[in-house]
Amino acid sequence: MSSAAASQGTASESPGSTPEEKTLPLEGVRIIDLGTFLGGPFAASILGEFGAEVLKVEHPVSGDPMRRFGRATKRHDATLAWLSEARNKKSVTIDLRKPRGVELFIKLVSKSDVLIENFRPGTMESWGLGWDVLSAANPGLVMLRVSGYGQTGPYRKRTGFAHIAHAVGGLSYLCGFPGETPVVPGTAPLGDYISSLYGAIGILLGLRWKEQTGEGQVIDVAIYEAVFRLMDELAGSYGMFGKVREREGSGSFVAVPHGHFRTKDEKWIAIACTTDKMFERLAEAMERPELSSSHLYGPQRQRLKARDEVNRIVNEWTGSLTRDEIMERCIDKEVPVGKLNSIADIFEDEHFKARNDLFTIEEEGIGPVVVPNVVPILSETPGRIRNLGPPLGNATYEVMRELLEISAAEIASLRQQKII
């Protein structure tokens, strides 16, 4: 079922790879990813896709808890979420609660360009790894710090996850039906992805600045803040008009019809008529052009006033045809429409296939794993997936020996003491 739908590839082949691999934008950049789960580490995943060397520094025994988060696989140290999102990383184990581990880590930082962490503010400092120490070791260091509430402010020490950040940042309040239980906005770690995207932007800006001036800096991303930044005019309209936006179910306060509609075969579609012209096209697709006349529902203002009635008419129409029939008629008239895809639908979708959005990679001991491909697509320097989430400590020896120039005997002793 699945692998046929996905693009084919192997561990040594990248999406859109050419025989002679092009130099990627971040070749030569070394990133230490000391974070756990996704908020922060996903920034390293993106940068790794575009050529950075990413060293995932983990606790020697337990590793990143992300390894245990989600669906298990045949590999005991890897869930599917880990395999997909720790793509391209190398795992290096160091125990930062031991003094010798801290020494090794500082040495590693001095040979790296970027450090990513997402502990609760103050944790790194308690290990003797505050910014003062790290920037002394590497004045050009770019450090991304992701946390629930940021490095400052009264809540900074509180436990924060994406789920909490969606609530604090104002997104969850808007998700659900008016007066009913607010629901999860689609996926639980959305805020982790969003904060990581901001983090990746901060890192790229920070690297640019460092190359211009030699100066490093800290990028402080709060997950709640990253979520709140996406709330279009929510703050502006409360500030100016005192308007508190409420949950709108499947609709939107700016336009009608603009929502999700059920079809005859018990599936769903999304329709978004943001302008009068688009509603006119929908009325044509429905073979009821009179609906878009000026005295009926032609102008948006009138549709907004008669919101329930307009939605009822559209629902009645979508309920009388299958999803495929609705899609065909709407596409024919250029109505903005889309299937409300489940993951099963996505694997069948010809557009996902054509753009190679599903990437299959053969993982040793597991078999084929299908993961979302690289986003965005760069024309000259497309990103690549060389390997999935690594086994715990798979690059510890290599990094200790080659990068930190520690003798084989000492490495053995560090291992024995469980420092690495």
Range 237-276, binding other proteins (CB under 8 A):
237-241, 243-252, 254, 258-260, 262, 268-270, 272, 274
Instruction: Report how far residue 335's alpha carbon sits from residue 330's, in angstroms, rounded to the nearest whole number.
Output: 5
Which of 32, 38, 44, 116 touches other proteins by CB under 8 A?
38
Q: How far is the CB of 175 from other proteins (least distance, A)?
A: 4
CB count in 10 Å sphere of residue 238? 13
Dihedral (Cα; 198, 201, 202, 203), 10-degree rounding: 120
The least CB distance from residue 153 to other proteins, in Å, is 4
Provide the β-strand partners of residue 114: 31, 142
Beta strands in 102-153 (DSSP E): 114-117, 142-147
Contact pick of 295, 376, 405, 416 for other proteins (by CB under 8 A): 376
Q: Could you tell me the smallest distance in angstroms from the CB atom of residue 351 to other proteins? A: 4
* Stretch 332-371 residues interacting with other proteins (CB under 8 A): 334-344, 346-347, 349-352, 354-355, 357-358, 360, 368-371
Write 18-25 long-range contacts (CB < 8 A, 24+). 21/384, 22/380, 22/381, 23/51, 23/381, 24/50, 24/51, 24/381, 24/383, 24/384, 25/50, 25/51, 25/378, 25/381
Smallest distance, other proteins to C-beta of residue 74, A: 10
The Cα–Cα gap between 230 and 153 comes to 21
* By CB under 8 A, residue 140 contacts other proteins: no
Catalytic residue among 33, 64, 192, 276: 192
Residue 159 or 407 with smaller CB distance to other proteins? 159
Q: Of residues 378-417, which lie at the interface with other proteins (CB under 8 A)?
A: 378-381
Site string for other proteins, 82-101 (x = CB under 8 A): -xxx----------------
Using alpha carbons, select from 222, 241, 314 the residue that is nearest to residue 273: 314
Q: How far apart, in whole angstroms, are the C-alpha atoms of residue 301 and residue 254?
A: 10
Residue 273, token pair as written in the block: 């008529």
Active site residue 192: yes
Per CB under 8 A, contacts with other proteins among 269-308 are 269-270, 272, 274, 278
User: Do 31 and 114 touch, CB atoms closer than 8 A?
Assistant: yes
Residue 9 binds to other proteins (criterion: CB under 8 A): no
Size of the site for other proteins (CB under 8 A): 154
| One residue of 18, 19, 61, 154 binding other proteins per CB under 8 A | 154
User: Which of the stretches 105-113, 145-153, 318-326, 395-403 binds other proteins when contact is defined by CB under 8 A?
Assistant: 145-153
Of 20, 232, 287, 405, the residue at the interface with other proteins (CB under 8 A) is: 232
Strands 358-363 and 367-372: antiparallel
Rounded to an integer, what distance in angstroms lies between the CA atom of residue 8 and that of residue 385? 12
Taking CB under 8 A as the binding criterion, the range among 10-18, 86-94, 99-107, 229-237 that sits at the site for other proteins is 229-237
Q: 185 is written with which tokens?
A: 């906005």
Binding segment for other proteins among 56-64, 77-85, 304-312, 402-410 (CB under 8 A)?
77-85
Contact between 150 and other proteins by CB under 8 A: the answer reads yes
Residues 175-204 that bind other proteins (CB under 8 A): 175-177, 180-190, 193-194, 197-202, 204
Q: Which of residues 105-124 bind other proteins (CB under 8 A)?
A: none
Find the Cα–Cα–Cα–Cα dihedral 219, 223, 228, 229, rounded to 10°.
Answer: 30
Q: Which residues are catalytic?
A: 192
